[in-house]
Amino acid sequence: MVLESKFFVGGSDHFSIARRGEEIVRSFGAAEIEVIGSDADKIFEAVQELRRVCEALRTVSFFSGRKLVWYRGVSFLSDAKINRGEEVLDWLQELQNLFEKVPEVGCLITAGAVDKRQKFVKWFLKNCHSEILDTPKLEGCERYILRVVGRECKKMTPEALHNFLQKTNNDLATIDSELAKLLLYVGDGNPITAQDVESIVVDSRAGDFFEAINLFFEENFEFFSQGIRRYFSYRGESRPLLAALQNRVRLLIQLRFFYENDRVENISKSVLERLGERYGTGDNAGPGSIFAQNPWYLGKLLAIAKKCPLSAWIQFQIKLLTALVPLSEHYDRPWSVFENLYFQLKLMQNNATATPSSSRP
């Protein structure tokens, strides 16, 4: 039997999960709402949050006949080490018991990625009003757009739909906000055309320097050349791209240092924690620190860092620091400066490969 006032919403589509959570909260009307946000990434933090949720469920409303406790943004119900901690499991069991003991108090859990094999996730899915909302594929985005457009008694041409999906990159959060603007822009009785989409919808791909930065460190110059020109076709400003490239090389310098001095061959969470204990002090331990990065991401960068000695990466960073001069001289062809930097990096890597002394002792 599904518990009447208990809700569980999880999945990979964070936008839809948040929106569905707000809908459930609104359905409780004038009830007292107590929101407990989750940002736990350690066992003791998860325990503290679960204790607060349980205490809130035990406390009846003083101001209303109904009460809803919203445990929002839970991130540790995936296949992660944190939800296998003994204390976390004990408090999840206590939460399960309270769900059955206090039917008069509502509870909503909204969670990101969830592992449906986990014991407590299985229980939530079986005993609560539960939904799993995963990121929709292209067809799902199309259906959502056409459903919203139809609800407003409007029509959308196939070309407009295609262009709209291209510009919003199949992202529901972007689709929702841009579609609201588009529907307001188009007059009553008029179909939405490709020209309307071009006039009002912001291209989410514009200024996306991540693609160009990733291609910068690949071996295929043709792909990089296409990517860098694509970037400048959407955005003429070169400073954000240069800053992103400098930031990437900053991480490569630190990874190469770990490789040469700490004999780090790969990056895992435990390795990163060990390095953080040794080097992560003061400003080095802040949110922009290398120790706050995803280990999987750093593992990919380490493979790049191994291609050149530390001295070469430092010299290349100096080249980037002085790149504003040639960018000002080639303001009409800024991509050519980045292409030249690309070839300088490849030359540096080739020299390192040809020089045995450049390898780590």
pLDDT digits (tens, 9 = 90+) for 219-245: 888 878 888 887 886 666 788 889 889
What is the average per-residue pLDDT within 237-254?
A: 90
- How much is the pLDDT for 63? 64
Alpha helices in 207-309 (DSSP H): 209-216, 221-234, 239-261, 269-279, 295-305
Instruction: Count Cβ atoms within 10 A of the Cβ of residue 138 and give its class: 0-12 exposed, 13-18 middle, 19 or more buried.
Output: exposed
- What is the predicted pLDDT for the residue at 187? 73
pLDDT at 50 over 90: yes
Asked if residue 62 has pLDDT above 70, the reply is no
Per the CB < 8 A criterion, the answer to whether 175 and 161 are in contact is no
Element at 71 (helix H, strand E) = strand 67-74
Asked if residue 17 lies in contact with residue 11, where contact means CB atoms within 8 angstroms, the answer is: yes
What's the residue count for the chain?
361
Q: Which helix (H) or strand (E) holds 122?
A: helix 119-127
State mean pLDDT over 98-126. 89
Query: pLDDT tens-digit profile of 116-130?
Result: 888 899 999 999 999
Residue 14 confidence (pLDDT): 78
The pLDDT mean for the chain works out to: 84
With cut-offs at 50, 70 and 90, classify the pLDDT of residue 358.
very low
Predicted pLDDT of residue 79: 62
CA proximity to 93, closest of 59, 41, 47: 47
Cα 96 to chain centroid, rounded: 30
Contacts from 16-24 at CB under 8 Å and sequence distance 24+? Answer: 16/133, 16/172, 17/110, 17/111, 17/112, 17/133, 18/110, 20/110, 20/131, 20/133, 21/70, 21/72, 21/108, 21/110, 24/108
- Indicate if the pLDDT at residue 286 is higher than 60: no
Q: Which of 54-63, 134-143, 242-251, 324-333 has the lowest mean pLDDT?
A: 134-143
> 30-34, 105-109, 264-268: which has the minimum mean pLDDT?
30-34
Q: What is the pLDDT of residues 10-43, one digit of tens each?
A: 988 777 888 899 999 989 887 888 999 887 778 8
Cα separation, 152 vs 39, in Å, equals 38
**Whole-structure pTM over 0.75, yes or no?**
no
Q: What domains are there in the chain, each with its CATH number?
A: 6-132 (3.40.50.300), 138-200 (1.10.8.60), 209-358 (no CATH)
- Separation between Cα atoms, residue 38 and residue 111, nearest integer Å: 9
Q: Which residue has the tokens 């350690």?
A: 42
- Encoding tokens for residue 350? 């080739």
Q: Mean per-residue pLDDT for 36-59?
A: 88
* Strands lying side by side in the sheet with 32-37: 32-37, 67-74, 105-111, 6-10, 129-132
- The pLDDT > 90 percentage for the chain reads 34
Tabulate helix, strand, coil % of the chain (nearest 5).
Answer: 60, 10, 30
What pLDDT was estimated at residue 227?
A: 80
Of residues 296 and 192, more confidently modeled: 192
Among the ranges given (78-82, 224-228, 335-339), the one the predictor scored with the smallest mean pLDDT: 78-82
- Can you tell me whether residue 36 is helix, strand or coil? strand
141-185 pLDDT, tens digit per residue, is 888 899 899 888 889 998 899 888 878 877 777 788 788 888 888
